[in-house]
Amino acid sequence: MNWAPRVKPIKIRRLYRYARLGIYDDLLLHDVGWELYERCTDIATVADVYREGRVPCPKCRTKITRRIDPLFSSGEGGTHENWFHCSHCAKRLLWRDCRQSLRNTPRCFDCRSVLQKADDLACVCGKTWSPAAYKQSIRTRVRLPCPHCLNLVRRPDPPSMERTVRMRKSSPALQCPKCQAVALHQHGNIECTACGYKRRWRDYRKSLKKKDEKLECPNCKYTFRWQAWRKSARPLRTGNPRPAREFVKKWIRCRTPRQRMIQIDTLLQTLHGRGPLAPLFIDSGEHNIRQMLDDLAS
């Protein structure tokens, strides 16, 4: 996979040196901004792979479904069975995303306005919460606003065993490792429908993890190994892709040099508070980047 490179610190320093003199060097703003944009796009792409279980082809970026659905493996953030849909806007949700969205942007549970942050969290409608009480509420409420449409959604029930099993059985294209015929996951085994091959599911899964998983792009026929892809994506992998997603969304809406500077600055300030995240974007070590961001903020 050809990932966009990280942005060079020297360019960022130059940008701020000019900005401090009141100069927006638009050529440089475009240069840095679009480099950040490309990198952020790649970071978001990698994060999607671990959410959706579909891998972009390194040649043409067509999304390829993995043969082993990684979402069933809790080690890779198994969430498949916990998806539900907002009854208002029909978007696919995870309960933890509903919670996270309120941690990022606290909203009133009643009128859903964005809360003002002072010592307490205060709403225009008159309600207030202490930060601790608000956190507690996020954890315990069974109805929270949908992150997309803000209508209240109900916490889904945990998936029943029956549903889990049904979804596993319906998971596509399980192949017999011996004869490549259709195999089934049943009674805790993988069982081939053709040759009678049978093995404990857990052992089968373990053996797959060790073995190479070959992927073929249905569009351009390029073949590659999941393990190699994953390795190439490791420097872009983060549990917190939100700053990258935000930047991608907002950068393309910037119309003036000032707006461009603000978006770049917003991203860098976000990175400033999150040490290990910064080296995903900027071409240097955590310590050096912190030093630079300290300098820029002073």
DSSP string, 74-130: GGG---GGG-EE-TTT--EE-HHHHHHHHHHS-B-TTT-PBPEESSSEE-TTS-EE-
User: Is the distance from CB of 123 to CB of 131 less than 8 angstroms?
Assistant: no
State the minimum distance, in angstroms, from the CB of residue 79 to Zn ion: 18
Which residue reads 């073995």 in tokens? 211
Q: Which of 66, 67, 148, 205 binds Zn ion (CB under 5 A)?
A: 148
178 near Zn ion, judged by CB under 5 A: yes
In angstroms, what CA-CA distances link 282 with 6, 19, 39, 243? Answer: 5, 19, 9, 14
Looking at 71, 144, 174, 176, which residue binds Zn ion (CB under 5 A)? 176
* Binding of residue 64 to Zn ion (CB under 5 A): no
Site for Zn ion in 124-143 (CB under 5 A): 125, 127
- From 19, 47, 55, 123, residue interacting with Zn ion (rule: CB under 5 A): 123
- Is 62 near Zn ion (CB under 5 A)? yes
174 is a site residue for Zn ion (CB under 5 A): no
Q: Under the criterion CB under 5 A, does residue 220 sit at the interface with Zn ion?
A: yes
Question: Is the CB of 59 or the CB of 242 nearer to Zn ion?
Answer: 59
- For the beta carbon of residue 74, count every other beta carbon within 10 angstroms: 8
Length of the chain: 298
The residues that touch Zn ion, with contacts defined as CB under 5 A, are 57, 59-60, 62, 86, 88-89, 108, 110-111, 123, 125, 127, 146, 148-149, 176, 178-179, 181, 192, 194-195, 197, 217, 219-220, 222
